[in-house]
Structure 1
Amino acid sequence: MTDATDMEDGAERNIVEIDPANDPRVWLEEVEGEEALAWVEGQNERTFERLTGDERYQGLYDAALEVYQSNDRIPYGSYQNGYIWNFWRDATNTHGLWRRTSLESYLSDNTEWETVLDLDAVAEAEGVNWVWQGSSCLSPDYRRCIITLSDGGQDASVRREFDLESRTFVEDGFVSPEAKGGISWVDEDTVLFGFATSEENSTTSGYPVSVYRWERGTAWEDATEVLRGDREDVGVWGFRVEDNAGNVYMMASEADTFFETTWWYLPDEGEPVSLPIPARSSISGLYNNQLLFTLEEEWDRGNGDVFPQGALLSFDFGEFARSGEIGDVATVFVPGPRQSIGGIGIANGTVLLQIDDNVTGQLWRYDTRDGGWQGTRIPTPDNLTLGLFGTSPHHNLAFLNAEGFLTPDSLYMVNVPTGSVTQVDSTPAWFDDENLIVEQLETASTDGTMIPYFVVRHRDTVMDGTTPTLLYAYGGFQVSIQPSYSGVRGRLWLERGGAYVVANIRGGGEFGPAWHQAGLMMNRQRIYDDLISVAEQLIEDGLTSPDHLGVYGGSNGGLLTGVMYTQRPDLWGAVVSAVPLLDMLRYHMLLAGASWMGEYGDPNDPDEGGFLRTISPYHNVDANGEYPEIYLYTSTKDDRVHPGHARKMAHLLEALGHPYLYYENTEGGHSSAANLAESARRDALLYTFLSQRLMDSE
């Protein structure tokens, strides 16, 4: 059925009307359905025939694979108990090695690693395509760990106890069923867990609804329930906070919505106690028994204390654990109008803040002295994206990654007591950037808000509209998109004459919670207007033209590009929608979709559902419209964003005769790549498509 009520430029529009309660393509939502997978296979064959048949494909693949498998990559790791711990994949170790080395060896020119766990050997012995999802070791001895493994890269995982002394999985140790959820150490013989194994133990979003206390030597099914949330929550997770003074507390987060949380203290004895802090807040850790947390909304305590949105605060958690009441609240840091907190790390003796100032990074240390919190800036490389990691209350080191569009990643070690920063490692330059420049520009959106964006281009670019240009954005969930170095992007796109643009549109976290919340739910059109305004500015400036301009995004960014496809098809020569949300009237019924209603709205609400119908790409395709070719790709193993979104959109375009390509990786989870070779194939397919659409056009 079509709705032919709109007229545009004299041409009759026929928007395909799809009833979400009677969707003719619902069979494509059967992830492993025989008919659905047969259709996927046919689509993949069609896409491979065209893209891998391009004479450029193999060279692009080889160039990408060399980057991914290079031993010149920085072996990022965590520091605990005197060792640097790293997980490493390469051409030989496709599943990967969990390994360690001493700090002295790590800082030397010839690091010697010792293998702790060979995941390739485990995968081969067990016949499972195991993908590493991380480890959690019990401090301060770090003898016992919980290792999380996923079959094919999906979010649902198993957790298995591992002994670092024997370097074996613990026989009859803590082993979970495959499920979404989490697990956290209480002590060597006790853990807290939440596993979404059944409807009773799951929220409608597919995450755990309860936290249980599990004692060693018992079955997980017999664990004691500590806290139960509501089925309509997003999920409930237990976790541990500790400081260097030996204070340890077990806590839980009950995510009422994606952005609103009830925080709980879980005493060893007695009932859980809720923290009287705002629902839009996030706990950052424990320092000298002070609990640190950030605000995503203004907090009026009613006693004359009012704290602004975006602030980092603290209070005495030991006092709260004893009395159940919060005493004095201290302000640690309040971001300025073009700032946001990019990372918080608690080390032995200080709190480190990675602060983003106009989308580039700074590092500060904060300590309690002279009756309050005092901050000092630590010198770091200027005008780069910084990533803080590796902090722990049990040691006084931290690590920092620095990168930019044209600056390869460099690893720095921070000596917390002295505030000195020392370069430890760096990656080679993977592409020729001698004649490339980076500009940070801005343009006015439709409501006058200034939207910043970065342009990476050749310094001698002729502004005649012919430059192949790839525009990337995300615009959601308070995620900041910052300058980053990509050897693959440089080799496969920039070095070959393409320009690359990143738009810091609303919905992200670049300028704090307000920047994100400006585009929530029924205000979401602002996000799309922001990106359209950037695209129009690129064309007006002569950098590119619609025939040479492509737009690319994944996940929520895949929804973004889907909207660009339906709302402004005239702006693009190519659209890429990766692991996307596209059916916004059924998204809440698919996998983790219900958890995102705080971002997008409720399709069943008359007002919110009415708005979602106006933006949902799947429900706004014009049967008579002229569209650029769109490339949709997803993964069968993605158990976060359902592959049915991309499948149904491609099937609709197929029926209408609109140009499209579709690729579905049968492994890889939400990243669409379970190993390095698949990552290279994913990228080679992408840049072959972009070359055909944006570089080959006249």
Structure 2
Amino acid sequence: MSMKPAASIIATARLFFICSIINTRLLSSVAAFAPSKLLQKSFRNVSFSSHHHQKIMSPPASSTTTAAAATTSIDDPHLWLEEVLGTKQLEWVNKINSDCLSTIGDPTQTSTYTRIKSILDSQDKIPHAYRINDKFYYNFWQDETHVQGIWRKTTLESFKSSDTPTEWTTVLDIDALDPPTTDTAKTWVWHGSILLDEGPTNTKCDRALIKLSPGGSDADICREFCLSTETFVDPNGDEQGFEITTPAKTRISYRSRNECLVGTDFHHDKSTLTDSGYPRVVKSWKRGTPLSEAVTVFEAQQTDIAANMYSYHDRGYVHEFQLRSITFYTSQYLYRALPVEGVAGVTADMEEVPFREVPIPEDAELGTFANTALVTLRSDLDIGGKSFKAGSMVALPMPELMENDWTNAVAMFTPTLSRSLSSSTETKDYIILKILEDVRTKLEFWKYCSETQSWSKQLCSDGEEDGSIPVGQDVAVSSHCRNSEADNTLWLWRDGYLVPDTLEIATAEDCCKSTEFVKAKPAMFNADGLIVEQHFTTSKDGTRIPYFVMRKKDLKMDGSNAVLLDAYGGFEISLLPGYSAGVGAGWLERGGIKVIANIRGGGEYGPTWHQAALKSKRYKCFEDIEAVAQALIDSGLTSREKLACIGGSNGGLLVGNLITRPIASSLFGAAVCQVPLLDMKRYNKLLAGASWMGEYGNPDTEDWKFLRNHSPYHLLRHDILSKPEMDDDGVLGEPTESTNPDWKCPKTLFTTSTRDDRVHPGHARKMVASLLEEAGKEKAPTVLYWENTEGGHGGAADNSQRAHMWALTYNFLAQALDLESS
């Protein structure tokens, strides 16, 4: 059985992000809620939330200390707002929240809220179900009855039936659990399941580790669950279940039935965490022993992002890795091969087979398929007389890789200027590559021969004659089974900006040419008369930037149309087409236009596209979005007064720059800034911020010279409002181009969450305080703020909260751009 834990703690974090994105995908068509990257490997033994698109982490918010704030320059009058749960701070939040609702109105009393809530609760959504063992397909589901959700199961026959409703059996009811008692958290939020894999000699999986988060934070608890009895395994009973009840950024996986590999805040004092707030120490934890007696088996350095150790069965082989996530994009892999019976017979602390460092570049990512190593490159590699481009996926025998012998290496994918690898999916005998050609998807199939341990590319394609699908649509595949090596059957998903999801059963054996229809989601908004177009514009340095436009076919190009421009521009995340009923119901049906910009910093054209806007080059993504905005205005599609921008997390940093840069702020009439990073001098000291220095730079070094140029909080307070410079340590240069006496802030709504323990809510709080108290009505006429007390980095913990947040957002935009209110 193949059960591959994420290749690193960063990869696990990516899946966390993916799950939160899919939960809100009905509402926002963009991956705009967290610094993250795509999970590249099989999902069977990572925290899994049962979603079909495979499209970081720190102490809980309550642990943010005022002591850290006290050591910082007192020149920042808003620093006190970084104390997340202080009485005075929460009073401020409640006051600003109240002002926001007074201005926009109570979203729960609007038809927009009703529509979005009904979409989220709809029984017509396609359940994303995956098989565990031989019979049952499991799915996690939320609706108006199951507010926090249920883990449930059904048979394939019932799932496929179109004549009668699917017969689901509840496995675990999250709403029925006793509520958490952590800070402001009132509910448990599902963080997924991690399955036990005992290899080919025992194919039945009967145990899982269930991860539950208090209020939606990244920190969670873990309880072992028996799939046979469908009950939690009592840690004090005969079976002595694994259980961690203190919320933390825990990473845990089974090594065998009676041993887990776990990294967490073991002593509840952060001594076993990195500077980024992730596990630094990994221990071997034996069943029936307290966590305090677990034995250390691996440690990373304090300045690393995280440590991870994991082992898994893979088509008859056992791979075990230790991994230092050094930065967000660099890692050190240590490896040992074990016999199939060895991983269960000898615990990790007693195993004598030594680990050896894997000789690959630090910025490469590593996975396996049987005894093949799969190396994904982020920089060019010349080795053994062969050359491989950045963005390539290379396969070679694992034993040969360990000897640094690339003689038999095969490039399964090689990028071009317009072509990049988006993701990969595994089945028993195949790897399916999802490839982007100018942000249009193609699928390629590679077959593995176990006898010769070789690969062959299959001559087949999906969609139109050139192998790509229509503009504004997408296709994705995933194994139908949590055990990806069970067979070659696939779920095939199709959707698009205006095309509801459909689900089909397919097989990799014929490259998904013959499919069986399973389910289709009905249209959830009226798309009559709407079209999707892809355009390209030229950025300031001559780079060609693609963007998608969703609009009415017969609209007038007279500058009168309300346009919402969405982008992300970071962490190599690609913004691909997907059906967003929330966008349709909340925005398109009102007559609004939605634009998705594929700016640099993302992954649409591979690693080089991302690296083009990395660190000191971050301004490139701002120039790209300015170019798209100007193109929209020049075409007559919209005008400054009718153009808004929106973005979350890293996208919130983007929006923060757009409302403070002189060019951008003159292009937008309104903005929505969600769970943002804004104070780039202190971001690495707040929650998970230190883990993103590979993306942004280190503000405590000479990097601050360029970081300051895209720190919205500093651009606002010091360049625009001429407030005294904070933290002047001799590194600062001259004021930036944002020095502009005529600057005026677009109408802006900021949203965040008290429970966000990934991007600190202090970023948004301080920016809003400065705009309200220091810029004032003259320079910032409309600044609104909404902070949800639950929800984590996704901003909401359940469907009611999600509907509230998005109805508030769309109603604000409608008012700001003079569009029909609802």
The answer to whether the superposition gives a TM-score over 0.5 is yes
In structure 2, what is the Cα distance between the partners aligned to 1:194 and 1:319? 31
Residue 141 (structure 1) aligned to one of 193, 204, 223: 204
Letter in 1 for 2:476: G
* Cα distance in 1 for residues equivalent to 2:399 and 2:811: 58
**Equivalence for 1:220:** 291
Q: For the Cα contact (< 8 Å) 1:313–1:332, is it kept in 2?
A: yes
Runs of 4+ in 1 over 6 A off after TM superposition: 323-327
The DSSP-based 3-state class of the residue aligned with 2:73 is helix
More displaced 10-residue stretch of structure 1: 349-358 or 486-495: 349-358
User: Which whole-Å deviations, capped at 9, do the CAs of 1:539-583 have from their partners, x for residues lacking one?
Assistant: 000100010000000000000011000002111111110000000
- Residue deviations 1:519-553 (CA, integer Å, cap 9, x gap): 00000111100000000010000100010000000
Q: Secondary structure at the match of 1:212?
A: strand
Q: What is the aligned counterpart of 1:305 among 374, 379, 386?
A: 386
3-state SS, counterpart of residue 110 of structure 2:
helix
In the alignment, what sits opposite 1:114?
169
More moved, 342-351 vs 474-483: 342-351
**Residue 405 in structure 1 maps to residue 457 in structure 2:** no
Give the equivalent residue in structure 2 for 1:503: 597
1:163 corresponds to which residue?
226
**Structural mapping, 1:605-684, within 5 Å:** 605-606=701-702, 608-621=703-716, 622-623=720-721, 625-655=743-773, 656-657=775-776, 658=780, 659-684=782-807
Residues 1:52 and 2:147 aligned together: no
Distance 1:359 1:642 in 2: 32
Quote how far apart the aligned CAs of 1:388 are. Answer: 2.8
Q: Does 1:101 align with 2:154?
A: yes
Question: Per-residue CA shift, 1:569-622, capped at 9, x if unaligned?
Answer: 11111111000000011100000000001100111122x201111211111112
**Alpha-carbon offset, residue 326 of structure 1:** 7.0
Worse-superposed segment, 575-584 or 215-224: 215-224
The one-letter amino acid of 1:435's match is G
1:692: which partner in 2? 815
**TM-score, normalisation: structure 1:** 0.93
Question: Which residue of the other structure, out of 227, 243, 246, is the alignment partner of 1:175?
Answer: 243
Query: Taking every aligned residue pair, what percent have the same amino acid on both sides?
Result: 39
Change in Cα spacing, 1:305 to 1:198, as seen in structure 2 (3 Å) is farther
Q: Does 1:258 align with 2:341?
A: no
User: Which amino acid counterpart does residue 379 of structure 2 have in structure 1?
Assistant: E
Match of 2:262 in 1: 193
Q: C-alpha separation between the residues in 2 aligned to 1:455 and 1:478?
A: 22
Shift of 1:451: 0.2
Contact 1:320 1:327 in 2 (8 A): no
Q: SS at the partner of 1:277? A: coil
Is residue 476–residue 494 contact of structure 2 (8 Å, CA) maintained in 1?
Answer: yes
In structure 2, the partner of 1:12 is: none
> Is the 8 Å Cα contact of residues 57 and 684 (structure 1) preserved in structure 2?
no
Please give the secondary structure, in 1, of the residue aligned with 2:247: coil
Q: Which residue of 2 aligns with 1:3?
A: none
Tell me the distance in 2 between the aligned counterparts of 1:278 and 1:224. 30
CA distance in 1, matches of 2:418, 2:311: 33
Letter in 1 for 2:94: E
* Alpha-carbon displacement from aligned partner over 1:109-133 (angstroms, at most 9, x marks no partner): 2321111111111145989511001
Task: For 1:378 and 1:199, locate their aligned partners in 2 and report how far apart those are by CA, in whole Å.
Answer: 51
**2:391 is aligned with 1:296:** no
Distance 1:134 1:467, change over 3 A: same
Aligned to 2:519: 425
Report deviation, 1:376. 3.4
Give the AA of the match of 1:309. A
- 1:380/1:421 contact within 8 Å kept: no
**Number of aligned residues:** 673
Conserved in 2, the CA contact under 8 Å of 1:443 and 1:533? yes
1:87 to 137, 140, 163: 140
Answering whether residue 556 of structure 2 is matched by residue 462 of structure 1, we say: yes
Contact 1:581 1:641 in 2 (8 A): yes
Shift of residue 314 of structure 1?
A: 1.8
Please tell me the residue identity of whatever aligns with 2:698. D
Q: Is the 8 A contact 2:153 2:168 kept in 1?
A: yes
Shift of 1:270: 3.6
Letter in 2 for 1:506: R
3-state secondary structure, aligned to 2:497: coil
**Residue 252 of structure 1: how far off its partner (Å):** 3.0
Partner amino acid, structure 2, of 1:193: V
Q: Note if contact 1:183-1:192 (Cα within 8 Å) is conserved in structure 2.
A: yes
For the residue of structure 2 that corresponds to 1:159, the secondary structure is strand
- The counterpart of 1:480, out of the listed 549, 555, 574, is 574
Call closer, same or farther: CA 1:330–1:198 in 2, change over 3 Å: farther
Query: What is the Cα deviation at residue 144 of structure 1?
Result: 0.5
Match of 1:247 in 2: 317
Contact 1:135 1:147 in 2 (8 A): yes
Residue 423 (structure 2) aligns with: 343
State which of 393, 397, 402 in structure 2 corresponds to 1:316. Answer: 397
Alignment check: 8 A CA contact 1:316 1:327 kept: no
Where 1:38 maps in the other structure, the secondary structure is helix
Secondary structure of 1:650's match? helix
Look up the match of 1:129: 187
The aligned residue for residue 9 of structure 1 is none
Aligned to 2:355: 272
Output the CA distance in 2 between the equivalents of 1:320 and 1:211: 26
Q: Separation in 1 of the partners of 2:269 and 2:759?
A: 20
Return the offset for 1:308: 1.3
Distance 2:555 2:92 in 1: 43
The answer on whether the counterparts of 2:180 and 2:187 sit within 8 Å (CA) in structure 1 is: no
Over aligned residues, Cα RMSD in angstroms?
Answer: 2.1
Q: Pick closer, same or farther for the CA change 1:137–1:406 going to 2, 3 Å.
A: same
Asked whether the 8 Å contact 1:343–1:388 carries over to 2, the reply is: no
Is the strand fraction higher in 1 or 2?
A: 1
Per the normalisation by structure 2, the TM-score is 0.79
Deviation track 1:457-512 (CA, whole Å, cap 9, x = no partner) reads 11111111010000000000000011121111101111111111000000000011
Any idea what the Cα deviations from partners look like across 1:72-127, whole Å, max 9, x if unmatched?
00101222213211000000000111011122222222321111111111145989
Distance 1:185 1:191 in 2: 4
Deviation at 1:324, TM superposition (A): 8.8
The answer to whether the 8 A contact 1:577-1:630 is kept is yes
8 Å CA contact 1:400, 1:413 repeated in 2: yes
Query: How far off is 1:352 after superposition?
Result: 1.6
Match of 2:434 among 354, 360, 363: 354
Match of 2:676 among 580, 583, 591: 580
Task: Give the secondary-structure state (helix, strand or coil) at the position aligned to 2:243.
Answer: coil
1:266 to partner: Cα distance? 4.9
Task: Give me the whole-angstrom Cα distance separating, in 1, the residues matched to 2:801 and 2:678.
Answer: 24
User: Which residue number in structure 2 is paired with residue 8 of structure 1?
Assistant: none
Report what 2:534 is aligned to: 440
The aligned amino acid for 1:195 is T
Determine if the alignment matches structure 1 residue 526 to structure 2 residue 620.
Answer: yes
Q: Which whole-Å CA distance do the structure 2 matches of 1:199 and 1:125 have between them? A: 22
CA distance in 1, matches of 2:684, 2:711: 13
Describe the superposition over 1:180-218 as per-residue Cα deviations: whole angstroms up to 9, x where unpaired.
131111111111111134332101000011222111111
Secondary structure of the corresponding residue to residue 412 of structure 1: strand
Give the distance between the partners of 1:204 and 1:125, measured in 2 at CA.
Answer: 27
Q: How big is each residue's C-alpha offset from its partner over 1:216-239, in whole Å with a ceiling of 9 and x where there is no partner?
A: 111222212121111100111223
Contact 1:363 / 1:380 at 8 angstroms: preserved in 2?
Answer: no
Mind listing any 5+ residue stretches in structure 1 that lack a counterpart? 1-18
Contact 2:389 2:415 in 1 (8 A): no
